[in-house]
Structures are given as structure tokens and as C-alpha cells.
Amino acid sequence: MQEYSGWLFDIYETRLGVGIWLLTDDNQRIFFQTKFEVTFYVAGPRHRLRAVWGQARNMGMKTAREIKHDLFSGNIEVLAVTAPDPQAASSAFRKLSEVFDDLIYYDGDIPIQLRFAARTGVMMLHHCRVKATGGKAEEITLDETISEPSLTISLPLRILELGPDVDPSIGVPEKLAVKHGAHHFVLNLRPKRGFEIALGALLKRVDPDLILTDFGDTWLFPMLALNPNRDLTRDVLRRKASSFFTYGMVMYRGEQVHLFGRWHIDRKNAALFKEYGVDGVIEQARITGMGAQEVARKSPGSGITAMQMITALRTGVLVPVVKQQAESFKTLKELVSMDKGGMVYQPIPGVYDHVAQIDFASMYPSIMVQYNISPETNGKEDAPDGLVPQTLRPLLEQRLAIKRALIELNPRDERVKSLKSRAAALKWLLVVCFGYLGYKNARFGKIESHEAVTSISRELLLRSKEIAEDMGFTVLHMYVDSLFVRKEGARTAADITPLLDEIVAQTNIAIAMDGIYRWVAFLPSRMDIRSPVPNRYFGVFQDDEMKYRGIELRRHDTPLWVAGVQLALLKELARAKDLEQARDFIPRAIRVLNKAKNDLHRGHVSPESLVIRQRISKGVEEYKAFSPTARAARMLRDSGQKVAPGQNIRFVYTRGKPGVLPLGMGVIDPKMIDIDRYLVLLDRAAETILSIFGEKYWEKAKNTYTQETWLLPQKPAVKRVITG
């Protein structure tokens, strides 16, 4: 028997049981297999369970009656069905649940990575030791302390980056850009046979652990005949494109290509990858137990569910395949009093100086942990730690440890970038954990627990408001877990620290200062300037950093050109040292605005920066009134391209009918651009910034452009096209 030390890199089902890949400390990539029995459970009337027992025995499964714990129902009698390996378990579960569809099933659909983590204590990408004989792992043990976060994860990844020279949806790629370490070069895509030989040789020479692509899921791998797996006994795993509903939106996920023995991540088909990159994916995989390829593509909610499943398996709690519990009955009066969200204290629209923004650190998950809020503990005093707090506590501690390290490290330290990515990845998990507590389909969700959290949060925020006012501050705005407080002359952290200390002392929830603004503007509704919009503001901190929420610059459907001009206006105003001087900089901002309009008229704005990106929420045939986005989607569909709900449609506004031209349908020439339509979009963005300082400034901006530039030539000065 030989012992190996390294990082648990990949896990998947095999005929023997489980296959695992180890990135060893001496830079080897070694594959092991190990036997792995899998058990799932069935609950229901005894005579029905006897029938299941007979069927399962005929399939070669082991069966036994056991008493197990259901989080909602307490201890119940179940039939345990044990298969010799994960593949046999999946087959048996599928067949039994189809024949006996009136029964309740537990632990039937848990991914193998999570079962492995719960049973061995070794999570994905953690350092471990493997004792093996001839490729068969006999013993696997954890070789690091999970509760102590490491500032540096020295995972020896070999990364190969691949991307076409043009977006395949709007053009035909001719070359593939390749990056490996310090090496940069291109491969010609024609002839295809020569390209595949060259790519195969590259994979063999580099032997990458991670293939990081642009359009790899939807373009590159689907056209390849070669097998890009490290485990060449397996074909690539393909998952179909799908539309799904989440957080009030219809989303679209393109076809996926997953590999065995190495990872593939498509940056263009991984929604949050741009938020935290490879380091964030590794962090999420380490704490959720999910594989890196899954983490990169799925929502953070899937990560929270995975963590809860591991906690349940470790503590002997059954994981329901389908949630059986419904919301408890409530009277109308109870609904009105209980079914409320977070506290929102509306600001008075205007511009203010000497304002500090203070935020509770992960307020909702902190409440869930501190007050022991979980479906099974709700309304019970002195209950032992619930499943949800047990799951969230390591996550909170991990993020706080990383945040403390970032405060202590020199900003130039090479670890800072990685730690920021890891903190962002953990933040996304904490953001969604509260929503999953009340999500109707969550395995361990219960709306009453969700309501308890918001109730406590409102009380804490009101208490913080009273503390601030008692200490001489004016509370301008409160939004769920943030407060904007003003005090004349407040300019440094020392002016705010006593307030922070007192809030922490009285609430026992960590709170920190986001910054002190030179000035901050709270914006009104476009429909009624007397009505504020809680999460729509912009401002400049004392350290010159800008912050903006809810304005065009933050919207995904704003053209890059419009967003860029709005940001330029903000930067001009940010030059001012105080609020009074900011108004003096408005004429300079107006000149920036007028130059942008001139550039558009003269054809100096590239069509690429005018592209609108909007998501369609339903099938093209379901639209009754055709908006520009629906018209563009219909044009794409009629040209033979696939269009599905949740998909982003990209187009530009053009003169005449139909008024839009989708990317991927011919040439977009500057002469075709509907300049007036884009000027309207730009004016809306400029008005957002300038009018809050006084309507006269916005009127001046409009009049200046009319007087000075209305005779501009319309002929484009450059000929720039996008081909499709």
C-alpha cells in the first residue's frame, strides 16, 4: 500500500463505485477508484413499503427498516434501500419512484460529491491523504483544518485559455486565441482536420487541469470530434440548454459541456464567473462540496442547498427529494402583521454632504446563526443548533476571516486580488441563503423562519436609528441592512467610530462603515419627482471612490456608449472637493455631454458600443405587442436561429422599419443608426445626474446643445461596421 498527499480535484461515478483525481504535492495527476455504497430511503404505509422491499430485493439491493429523522416530522420509520454503487442506486431510485409514485423518498438525488464529503469528511479541493494499492483507494483522510481559513490556496492548476477571434453569434471565427501561462499564440480553424490535430497535440503537451473558454459550451466543443477529457474512457457530459424561472426572472442557460478528469468552464455561459473568477469558483467548491464545473455554472442557491445536504447527511437528517410541507394556515390579520420584508426608510430626494454609509455585515445570515433560526427551531426556545445555523456558521466565519485579512494586508500584497475574489464568492452564497429560507421549493425552507428573520432585522435597524439620533446624527435613509447618517462636520472614520461601537454593543451584529461621502444624491422617481426610490443613488466618498446604484450605468440593457458618458459626467463632478464646488463643475460635465452628442452625429461612435442587450421573458409566439426586443427576437427566429425564453437578445436601433437590427443578421453600418433614439437614451442618463442638483442645470444642458450644435453634419466621418 502506498500513501499519496495532494488536492482532491475531481469526483464522479464509476462502475466500481467512485473515481477520484488527485493533484499530488509532487505535481502528478493520479486517478483512483474506491467502492462506495449508496443508501436512499422510502416512507409510507407499511403494506406499500413491503411491496417496495420485494421489488428492491429483486433488483439486488439490500434493504432494512430504520428509524430516521425528518426535519419537519421528527423521527419516522423508513425503508432503507442500499445499492453497491452510485450508478446502481440511481437506477433503482428511478425505477422505484416511477412504480411507487405515491410514496415519499429521501436522499435519492444527492450528488456523489456531497455524499463523499459527508462520509469521508473530505470536501472538494481540500488537501488530503490517500492510501492506495494498485489504483484502488483504501483510505482517504482530510489533511487540513476546515475551520481555519487559509490565506493562500496553493492549488497547482494548469490553465489553458481558448477563445475565438469573433463572437460566433455575429460572425464566423477564423482563428482560436490560445493562452497558457506566459505563452500566447493562435491556431487557424481551417482546415478543420489540421486544427483538431493541433489542438489535440496542445492538450497532450500542456495536459491542462482547467480549460477556460469563451463560447466553449455552445460553439467550440460541440464542433470537435476529439475527446478533450483527461479520462479518455469517458465521453464528455453534455447538458441541454434550458430556460428557468428564478428570483422573478426568466433565465436562459446554454448547452453545457462538462469534462472528466479535468474541468471546462465557459466564461460566456457562467453567469457569475465574471464576479469572482477562478479563485472564487475554487472557494465556492471548497465550502459547498460541489464540483468546480457545477459551481461555475449554477446559481449560488444551488451551493446553499448543497451545504445543507452535507449538514443533513452528517447529522442523520433525511433530505426529501420533494418537499412535502406547505405554509401554515394564517388569518388575514396574521398575514398583514407577519408577511413583511426588510425595513426601508425613504430618503428625501436631494444632494447631501457629510453623510456616512454604514452596513451590517451579512445581516440576515448573522441573524439566522445568532438567533438559531431554522425550520425545525422556529418558535422553540432553547432548541439545539438548527440545520440552517450549522450550515451557515462556517461560511460566515470563513468570509469574516478573509475580510479581516484584507484589512491587515498591504494593498500591494499579491494575495489581495485572490482574497477579494474569494470573499465575493462567499458573499453571493450569503446573499441567497436568506431567500432559500423562504423559497417554497427549498428542501429545508419554511416561510415562517423567513418572516422571523425580517422581523428581527427591522427591530435591529430601528434600534440602530434610535442610537444614531441619540448621538446627534440625522438618519437620512435606511435600506434593509444599511443606514445613511449625517452629522455636520463628519469627515473621518473617528467621527463615526463611536456610533459603530454603540450599535455593535446593543445589537451584537457586526457593522462597518462603507465610507463617508463628500456628497451623495438620493434620486426621485421618474414618474413623480416627489417620490423617492430607495435603492437609486450616487455619490463620491472622501477617498475619491464613486458609488452608484439603480442608475443607467448599473443596468445591463444600457448601451456601453450611454453608460460610458454617464460615468464621464460623474467623474467630472467627482473632481469637486465638496458639494458646493460640485455645482461649479456642472458646466464641464455639460461640455462632456455635448461632445458625446457631437461624436454620435459625426459617426465617431462605434456600432458595437450602441448595442442594446435585453432578455426576453417568453417565447416569441407568445408576444401580442411587439416591443423592439420582441421584434429583434422574431427576426432572429425567422432567420433560423434558436430563440428561447430567458435569452439575451442583442440589437441596435435603426432608421425606418422594423427599427431594429439584431446582431448576427447582416451588416450594421453607422448610416443605419437611429441617432435620435440614442440621443433620447443619453438624455435620460444625463438628466439622472444633472437634474438632482437643480432643474436649471438640466435645462441649461438641453438648451446649450440646441443652440450650439443643431447644424452638425449628419454624414458619418468613419465607416465602421459589424458583420454577421
Confidence of residue 562 (pLDDT cuts 50, 70, 90): very high
Longest distance between any two alpha carbons in the chain, whole Å: 89
Which pLDDT score, from 0 to 100, does residue 333 have? 66
How would you class 707 by CB atoms within 10 Å of its CB: exposed for 0-12, middle for 13-18, buried for 19 or more? exposed
For range 261-269, the mean pLDDT: 96
The pLDDT value given to residue 718? 42
Q: How far apart are the first and last CA of the chain?
A: 60
Say if residue 327's pLDDT is above 70: no
What are the pLDDT digits (tens) for 47-89? Answer: 999 999 999 999 999 999 999 999 988 999 999 999 999 999 9
Whether 114 shows a pLDDT value over 80: the answer reads yes
213 in Cβ contact with 161 (< 8 Å) = yes
Give Cα separations from 554 to 407, 517, 544, 557 (angstroms): 27, 19, 19, 9
Q: Which residue has the higher pLDDT, 329 or 629?
A: 629
DSSP letter string, 176-226: EEEEETTEEEEEE--SHHHHHHHHHHHHHHH--SEEEESSIIIIIGGG--S
Q: Of the ranges 457-461, 655-659, 717-721, which one carries the lowest mean pLDDT score?
A: 717-721
Q: What are phi and psi of 242, to 5 degrees?
A: -150, 150
Q: Where are the domains of the chain?
A: 338-375+446-550
Distance CA 568, CA 575 (A): 11
Other residues' Cβ atoms within 10 Å of the Cβ of residue 459: 13
Taking 3-state DSSP, the helix, strand and coil percentages for the chain, each rounded to the nearest 5, stand at 40, 25, 35
Q: Which of 39-48, 394-403, 697-706 has the highest mean pLDDT?
A: 39-48
Q: Which ranges of 575-674 does DSSP label H, i.e. alpha helix?
A: 579-584, 586-601, 628-638
Q: Are 360 and 366 in contact (CB under 8 A)?
A: yes
- Nearest residue to 175 via CA among 161, 187, 184: 187
Q: Which amino acid is residue 497, in one-letter code?
A: T
Instruction: Categorise residue 135: left if φ over 0, alpha if ψ from -120 to 50, beta otherwise.
Output: left
Question: Which residue type occupies 193?
Answer: R
Confidence of residue 711 (pLDDT cuts 50, 70, 90): very low
pLDDT class of 709 with cuts at 50, 70, 90: low
For residues 716 and 665, which has the higher predicted lDDT (pLDDT)? 665
Inform me whether the pLDDT recorded for 488 exceeds 60.
Answer: yes
Q: What is the pLDDT of residue 326?
A: 61
Mean pLDDT rounded to a whole number for the chain: 90
Q: What is the DSSP letter of 717?
A: S
| pLDDT tens readout for residues 199-212 | 999 999 999 999 99
Architecture of domain 338-375+446-550: Alpha-Beta Complex (3.90)
| Cell numbers found for residue 572 | 467630472
DSSP 241-294: -EEEEETTEEEEE--EEE-SSSEEEEGGG-TTHHHHHHHHHHHHHHHH---HHH
Output the nine-digit C-alpha cell for 35: 467502492
Looking at residue 530, what is its pLDDT?
78
pLDDT of residue 570: 97
Its pTM stands at 0.89
Contact 520, 352 (CB under 8 A): yes
pLDDT at position 722: 46
